[in-house]
Amino acid sequence: MNEYVQTHLLTATTLRRRQAAMIISPNLLITSFCTLLLFALVSCTQATPDSISSGKPTVTGQATENKTGSSAPDKRRRDSTANHEGILLSQTDTDGDDLPESIAVCETASICVNHPALGINHTYTNPGWEHVVLLAIQDTDGIKGAEIVVLATTTDGVLGCICIIHDRSQAMASYLGPQWSTATVKSVVDTNGEPGDEVVLVAYDRRGGLQCVCIIRDRDGTYQTYSDASWARVHINWVEDTDANPGAEVVLEVHGHHDTIYCICVIHHREDRVATYSDPRWKAVAVQLLIDTDGAPGNEIVAVYSSELDGGVSIIHDRPQSMKTIAFTGEHPSIQQVGNYDHLLGAELCIFLANQHTHELINDRSGEHAKIDNCQREQENTHT
């Protein structure tokens, strides 16, 4: 079984800025020149092509405070956006006092946080915002009290920012790359093993071209961009542990130009590294699940591929950076069930071969596969 594995160790460049103690329009763009934007001093370094680059958020805003003693009347927004409808209302502790605050979108383009115990409302907004979507309320900085993750669009209909509200300090950090016109947030999860969850997103330019897979590390106020000239489209359906190290990995299905399959790529944010897995037999490939198939720490990436006449199953072992491919001539297999058939560590894959109308059991730990009557054998911990 041939293996086509490559690991890219990519260098990082950094964009740094001094925080501004005021709300600044989120659609300010950083160029590759060093520019002084209002009170935000931006020191820029030109990124090298096909690299990982890191950047500070472009601006930081100060919250306004409304001491009314109760929640101000608001209009909850219910329209959907390019990302998703988002959270309409939540009761979560945002200031670290162990008492829940009421968080909601108000007046279409503001975030209102009501502190019932204090009789105070905090309103976070920006004059350039047309709409906001409340994406998540999670700890992103490792400090007690959840942060509020927001996607804002401007009056021009383009991305204003991915903004993170720190209600504990009544501040707002705005993250926006130089060419980000739209963005889709895929997950808010720990990707580096450090306190605070990261924000995983895909950003596009005005023409719909892929700009990056980006990871916002709000704990230190930076974002990391992952891109390559060979990447045309990416799909992210899995952000899970694949290497048994702290922090989840981001699993990408990457298409190249001319709609060719480029790779299944895995971002190791903790190490600023991208592992690339490919096979010339892949004409179409899709990740089906992440699960332990060999009994060793870290989940394997299980993908099904097809070519013009044949197909198979590829199992990626990201921890040792290896891949096994089981090809079936004249077949396009489908995974029917996954379970612990032999009562040893690691799950087996039961697949169906439609042309032969037979089932085969793949044992990744032993490297064997054999025909079986059906997938309903006595087993433990079965997944379908």
The string of DSSP letters for 257-287 reads GGG-EEEEEEEEGGGTEEEEE--TT-SEEEE
Distance set, CA 145 to CA 58, 92, 120, 141, 199 (Å):
23, 9, 17, 9, 17
User: Which residues lie closer than 8 Å to 143 by C-beta, 6 or more apart?
Assistant: 96, 168, 196
212/288 same-domain check: no
Q: Residue 236 domain-assigned? A: no
* Contact assessment for residue 42 and residue 145, using Cβ atoms and an 8 Å cutoff: no
Number of domains comprising the chain:
2
Q: Is residue 346 part of a domain?
A: yes
Does 200 map to a domain?
yes
Convert the pLDDT of each residue in 88-137 to its tens digit: 899 999 999 999 999 999 988 999 999 999 999 999 999 999 999 999 99
Q: Tell me the β-bridge partners of 267.
A: 250, 274
- Among 209, 227, 245, which residue terminates a domain? 227
Report d(CA 199, CA 218) in Å as an integer. 8
Instruction: Name the stretches of the chain with pLDDT < 50.
Output: 1-83, 379-380
196's tokens: 């605070």
Residues 204, 62 share a domain: yes
Angstrom distances, CA of residue 170 to CA of 60, 68, 200, 235: 11, 17, 24, 35
pLDDT at site 30: 23
User: Following DSSP, what letter does each residue of 184-251 receive, concatenated?
Assistant: EEEEEE-SSSSSS-EEEEEEE-TTS-EEEEEEEETTTTEEEEE--TT-SEEEEEEEE-SSSSSSPEEE
179 and 36 share one domain: yes
Helix H or strand E encompassing 110: strand 110-115
The answer to whether residue 62 sits within a structural domain is yes
Q: Which of 101, 157, 162 is nearest to 133 (CA)?
A: 162
pLDDT of residue 237: 95
Predicted local confidence at residue 42, as pLDDT? 22
Residue 345 and residue 216 share a domain:
no
What's the pLDDT at 377?
Answer: 65
How confident is the model at residue 40, as a pLDDT? Answer: 26
Considering the domain architecture, whether residues 189 and 293 belong to the same structural domain is answered as no
Domain presence at residue 238: no
Is 262 contained in some domain?
Answer: no
Q: What is the pLDDT of residues 192-217, one digit of tens each?
A: 999 999 999 999 999 999 999 999 99
Q: Which of 318, 306, 322, 213 is nearest to 261 (CA)?
A: 306
List the one residue out of 119, 159, 150, 208 whose CA is nearest residue 25: 159
What is the pLDDT at residue 259?
A: 84
Question: For position 378, what pLDDT does the model report?
Answer: 53
| Domain extent for 341 | 284-384
Compute CA distances 82 → 79, 86, 183, 184, whole Å: 10, 11, 8, 7
The last residue of one of the domains, among 180, 206, 227, is 227
Distance CA(101)–CA(117), nearest Å, equals 9
Would residue 4 count as lying in a domain? no
Residues 57 and 193 in one domain: yes
Instruction: Mark which of 208, 227, 246 sits at the end of a domain.
Output: 227
Q: Are residues 215 and 292 in the same domain?
A: no
Residue 70 is predicted with a pLDDT of: 30
